[in-house]
Amino acid sequence: MTTEVFTDSGPLYAFFDAGHPRHGDAVRLFTGSPPLVTTNVVLAEVIGLAAVRREPDFTVRLAERLVEGRLARIERVTAADEVLALRFLRRFAAQGATFADCTSFAVIVRLELAVVFSFDRHFAPPGFFRLEPAQES
């Protein structure tokens, strides 16, 4: 098992968008955390969210910060990960898991990661441990 922590798109986006309702949660998660890892597919999701929610300049700055890989190491999804992701999708699609989520599951398995930062309730299928801070009141 590695000490890296996988981060999903929700906390990544919230970390960069100070106006996001979960921004404080994301900052707390990432402050003092073990090294973070994510995938190129998750980065595409985060940049896509920014393109829909924010102005183009924010999106470009966000993309630049993510791609430089200082906040989280970027693990590329492999063809073998995609095959495993299809198996996960068959199993978890009814619970709302997307193919992007399932590629994350495959990478988590391949890297033998034990902790995931995610705000998605459906993100943690059986066998994965998800760490999420308490909702701010």
Asked, for residue 125, whether it belongs to a domain, the answer is: yes
Is residue 134 included in any domain, yes or no?
no
Residue 23 in any domain: the answer is yes
Q: Render pLDDT for 50-88 as a digit per residue (tens, 0 to 9).
A: 999 999 999 999 999 999 988 899 999 999 999 999 999
CA 27, 16, 33, 42 torsion: positive or negative? positive
Q: How many domains does the chain have?
A: 1
Instruction: Give the pLDDT of residue 135.
Output: 41
pLDDT average, residue stretch 114-118: 85
Closest CA to 131 of 21, 18, 28, 14: 28
pTM given for the model: 0.87
Please report whether residue 136 resides in a domain.
no
Q: Is residue 55 part of a domain?
A: yes
Q: Find the mean pLDDT for residues 93-99.
A: 89
What CATH number did the domain enclosing 91 receive?
Answer: 3.40.50.1010
pLDDT at 38: 96
Which tokens is 71 given? Answer: 């906040």
End-to-end alpha-carbon separation of the chain, Å?
Answer: 35
Residue type, position 78, single letter: T
How many angstroms separate the Cα of 68 from the Cα of each of 25, 62, 107?
A: 23, 10, 20
Q: pLDDT at residue 35 above 50?
A: yes
Q: What is the mean pLDDT of the chain?
A: 87
Query: Which residues constitute the domain of residue 63?
Result: 5-129
Q: Please tell me the predicted confidence (pLDDT) of residue 130.
A: 54
Q: Is residue 44 part of a domain?
A: yes
